[in-house]
Structure 1
Amino acid sequence: MDKVLNHLELYIEDERLMRKPDIQKLLNISRSTLGRWVKTGKFPQPTFIQNQRSYWQFKHVNAWLQSKNF
């Protein structure tokens, strides 16, 4: 049963949505830096935008972090 629970936790974590403040804290960057990185392609585009708020899936942010060896 533990294996099922652990697998489910990993799945939920990968699908978790992150907002700009979450990413700013994670990377220790300003809002303008994040915006510039997205605009220039240095950071992934948001997964979707709702009510003028940008959201990224954790799995995309994590993949980017892994590619940059953070």
Structure 2
Amino acid sequence: MQIQEHFYRIKQIASAPATPEKIHVYKTGVNAGKTRKLNAKPARQGILPISEKTIWEWVRQGKFPQPIRMGGNVTVWRASDVQKWIEERS
């Protein structure tokens, strides 16, 4: 019998507020005066009420479990490690 291990990606762990659509105007350089549309993003509720930036800072400080690289640019955390970390702080 094989046990299936579960993983979380950063977007499942971290929360993020909604951001409105913005128009950015380049002030200098070859694109000076041109505009760029930045799309709106909906709010995202992860399992923790903290940002991705905070999670990465805690990983660097050793306060949060280390992630696992799964080929290419995919970084994940073992669900069991994250749940254990949450339980230790409750």
Larger radius of gyration: 2
Three-state SS of the structure 2 residue aligned to 1:55 is: strand
Three-state SS of the structure 1 residue aligned to 2:8 is: strand
RMSD after superposition:
1.7
1:68 matched residue in structure 2: 89
Three-state SS of the structure 1 residue aligned to 2:13 is: helix
TM-score calculated relative to the size of structure 2: 0.57
Three-state SS of the structure 2 residue aligned to 1:27 is: coil
Runs of 4+ residues over 2 Å off in structure 1: none
For residues 1-70 of structure 1, the aligned pairs below 5 Å read 12=4, 15-24=5-14, 25-46=46-67, 48-50=68-70, 51-69=72-90
CA distance in 2, matches of 1:59, 1:20: 15
Report which of the two has the higher share of helix.
1
In structure 2, the gaps of 5 or more residues are: 15-45
In structure 1, the gaps of 5 or more residues are: 1-10
Determine what percentage of the aligned residue pairs are the same residue.
32
CA distance in 1, matches of 2:87, 2:10: 19
TM-score calculated relative to the size of structure 1: 0.71
Q: How many residues align?
A: 57
Q: 1:53 Cα deviation (Å)?
A: 2.5
